[in-house]
Amino acid sequence: MPHTAATTPGTPILRAEGVCKAFESGRQHTQVLDHLSLAIDPGELTLISGPSGCGKSTLLAVLSGLQKVDSGRVYALGSELGQLDLRALENFRLQHTGFVFQGFNLFPALTALEQVELPLTHMGLSRQEARERARHSLEEVGLSHRVKLRPSELSGGEKQRVAIARALAKEPELLFADEPTSALDAANGQTIIDILHTIARTHGTTVLCVSHDPRLVAHADRVLAMEDGRILSDRRPGAGAPKESSP
Ligand SMILES: Nc1ncnc2c1ncn2[C@@H]1O[C@H](COP(=O)(O)OP(=O)(O)OP(=O)(O)O)[C@@H](O)[C@H]1O
Ligand SMILES: [Mg+2]
């Protein structure tokens, strides 16, 4: 995967051009993404907001190579995802992306440490390297004292922090988070927001976060509002008036 495009200042790390995606179920045709274009700069925390069903999760899925587009193009780290075969796409996701979901997606039988180690060993790290990195990531999210516990023994906020540590330990250029705070109470939600903010700042990770949480806006470099499969507005909190995106 070429890195030159990702590290050149002013070059977007992630770009969608005229992306369309529809779902057919029975006779119903749902146009979820409708000629959507965006460009994301490296190292920024971008918040994607919008009403339920407007296509936010689908957008994350196509930007991360999890789902194919019907038309248009997605470029990530200098590669066009549509040009990659399945194996290359899987490798792209494994090596360069991390995911955090609303429902945590942890394995019930594994300890916090094992959850974080697992993708690292898949990436080809030795057991020792994986263990060291996993411990370090769990420490970064404030869970050094919880590494031996299983999900059933962790609170919701702690589970989400394990999920973030798992994504962070991969040292991905791109971190995708889909409603990471919506299953949490206010205090735990705030902790998760702070951690995502710190990750973008200190690791230079590009964070794309879908959220309805207004507290996240204050921490975001940029807020994209979605509606009807398009970006309706594009603004930078703290940078003056919003910019309406062109159709
Ligand atoms: N695999 C699928 N098959 C059929 N329809 C789908 C599929 N995935 C999503 N959709 C439809 O696409 C639309 C957008 O879904 P998506 O999950 O992207 O919305 P969302 O903005 O994330 O909503 P929410 O805020 O509720 O999570 C919805 O109408 C949904 O029913
Ligand atoms: Mg969703």
pLDDT at 246 over 60: no
Task: Tell me whether residue 37 is in a domain.
Answer: no
pLDDT band at 243 (very low <50, low <70, confident <90, very high): low
Looking at residue 220, its amino acid is A
What is the per-residue pLDDT across 29-67, written as a single tens digit (0 to 9) for each?
999 999 999 999 999 999 999 999 999 999 999 999 999
Q: Which residue has the tokens 């999210």?
A: 141
Beta carbon of 30 within 6 Å of any ligand 1 atom: yes
Beta carbon of 56 within 6 Å of any ligand 1 atom: yes
Nearest-atom number in ligand 1 for the CA of 51 is 25
What's the chain's average pLDDT? 91
| Domains identified in the chain, total number | 1
Q: Which residue has the tokens 């979820």?
A: 32
Closest to 41 (Cα-Cα) out of 222, 224, 242: 222
* pTM given for the model: 0.91
Task: Tell me whether residue 4 is in a domain.
Answer: no
Beta carbon of 229 within 6 Å of any ligand 1 atom: no
Per the structure, the complete domain to which residue 105 belongs is given by: 42-65+92-244
Beta carbon of 180 within 6 Å of any ligand 1 atom: no
Task: Tell me whether residue 74 is in a domain.
Answer: no
Nearest-atom number in ligand 1 for the CA of 210 is 22
Q: Which residues are registered as beta bridge partners of 206?
A: 174
What is the per-residue pLDDT across 176-229, written as a single tens digit (0 to 9) for each?
999 999 989 989 999 998 999 999 999 999 999 999 888 888 889 999 999 999
Assign residue 136 the CATH number of its domain: 3.40.50.300
Q: What is the pLDDT of residue 157?
A: 94
Contact between 2 and 77 under an 8 Å Cβ cutoff? The reply is: yes
Tokens (6 digits) for 183? 């299953």
Q: What is the pLDDT of residue 245?
A: 55
184 vs 135 pLDDT, higher one: 135
Which residue's CA is the closest to the ligand 1 atom numbered 3?
Answer: 23
In angstroms, what is the span from residue 99 Cα to ligand 1's centroid? 18
Burial state string for 4-34 with b = 16 or more CB within 10 A and e = fewer than 16? ebbeeeeebbbbbbebbbeeeeeeeeeebbe
Q: Average pLDDT for residues 89-115, to the nearest whole number?
A: 95
Task: Tell me whether residue 102 is in a domain.
Answer: yes
Q: At what angle do helices 127-140 and 156-169 cross, to 10 degrees?
A: 130
Task: Tell me whether residue 127 is in a domain.
Answer: yes
pLDDT band at 244 (very low <50, low <70, confident <90, very high): low
